[in-house]
A and B are shown apart, each in its own frame.
Chain A
């Protein structure tokens, strides 16, 4: 009851800085059902009328993988059947996984602009919106991985216990994408035109990631530099996993470290600017 609540909620002007973190995360946790329903109903609305909508989520990266396969085999013929199968499998999972990371990042970055009406008219921790964007991207991603495993089976790729390491790697990548989304979302609120660069950034990022080629194919001279690509350790680890081996701890640790760095950096940038979103939208 309004009158009996002893302590008021007070809104005061504060210089830009972080909000009280414990209170913020408590509120965010209390909003988990809201986030879940927001993600689900958005997906439902997006794919409502079209079976094609669902199908396209899978077809789009699949066609992309096919294009890259053609490109690759033109540049360097695949050789034996087994080698060709390995290349196809690698391209399919790598393009799927990369599509997930870039889609999640882009959706997170655009989430504040897309959620303008909500931000202006309702009060909730704004991190809800990028989180919902990542959850939606995950929902779109999972069916593509089921399609991948059909390829994995048909192409005679190894099944083993190492495959159980996959969810861990995906979790790490989701955290990284969330961090990037949190980082870019305020930037896009304050400078709308920065969004135009993201597609080019992701294109270049794809080419410097061992997604279209195997780690062993990277010339040593280039490897020195490519190793610093934040996606390098996770894709290297996934390459080992899909080939039936447990990932080397160094790769996993590297992937987790990058994810943590992006997440912390993104979260701080986002929370520090959060109070100004409503003003700037």
Chain B
């Protein structure tokens, strides 16, 4: 795969630090805050999710993000999407970011699939005209048949995921962030979505950041890759090498555990 470093970046992450305070209680309350003021031992804990992460994503490429649970992968995507504020450092993005961080953001389960395509598109920041232009393509790609006119509460998680991915992939994403979002589809749909990701990047029209535990998928799709380890960059480079290094460190055999089933 070409690894042309002359290409301008689509995403530039520069010495990014993200930390937040978490409390033991699930929901923060006034009572809890007052209790903490009295009792110092109940102080909130500071979580440093990202500690000085830097990398660049070349425009028009697929970029992989790998690492263990809790390494800061999702936090990083949320920061790139502008959802979480950086504590220090900066993130620059060239283009509209479409986050696919969780399935069907903005979807309302009481409404039909068709109504949710519009709602999902508007949530992603498109105008309704832009949504309607791509309406048929979204519907076709999701391949839900008559179910598209049923309320989404009747959908299986797989059907839900197909529509969600279809909406995100078709609504002219410029920078698409995918966080394990393909996990719900069946094998055929996974292949179809991988093909779609490749297609999106073909004419450098879209840049994709993909967080996945499906290492073979990252190897197959991504040009470059970053391995995050407890909030710092462990290794950044050509995807093939990074994935191999990660697998060696974690003692992962190239078995079915890393293959397509776990995309």
Contact = CB atoms under 8 A, between A and B. Distances in A.
Given A191-B29, A278-B78, A122 B83 contact: yes
Interface in B52-104: 59-60, 78-95, 97, 99, 101-102
A46 to B, nearest CB: 8
A102 B85 CA distance: 33
A209 B114 CA distance: 46
Contacts of A80: none
B79 A37 contact: no
Interface size class of B (residues with CB under 8 A): 35 or more
Given A10-B92, A48-B110, A1 B122 contact: no
B60 A9 contact: no
Given A3-B60, A193-B30, A11 B119 contact: no
Contact of A123 (B33, B82, B206): B82
A221 interface: no
Nearest to B206: A2
Contact of B90 (A11, A34, A46, A192): A11
B24 interface: no
Contacts of B128: 33, 37
Interface stretch (A112-120, A147-155, A168-176, A244-252): A112-120
B99 A123 contact: yes
Given A2-B174, A120-B78, A13 B88 contact: yes
B122 A34 contact: yes
Q: Which applies to chain B's interface (DSSP): helix, strand, loop or mixed?
A: loop
B59 A33 contact: no
A41 B78 CA distance: 26
B7 A3 contact: yes
Given A3-B60, A44-B110, A120-B101, A193 B31 contact: yes
A215 interface: no
A12 B28 contact: no
A77 B206 CA distance: 74
A10 B9 CA distance: 13
Contacts of B127: 33
Given A3-B60, A191-B28, 17 more contacts: A1-B95, A2-B205, A2-B206, A3-B204, A5-B95, A8-B12, A9-B93, A11-B93, A12-B91, A13-B87, A14-B85, A45-B111, A118-B106, A121-B105, A122-B105, A122-B123, A192-B27
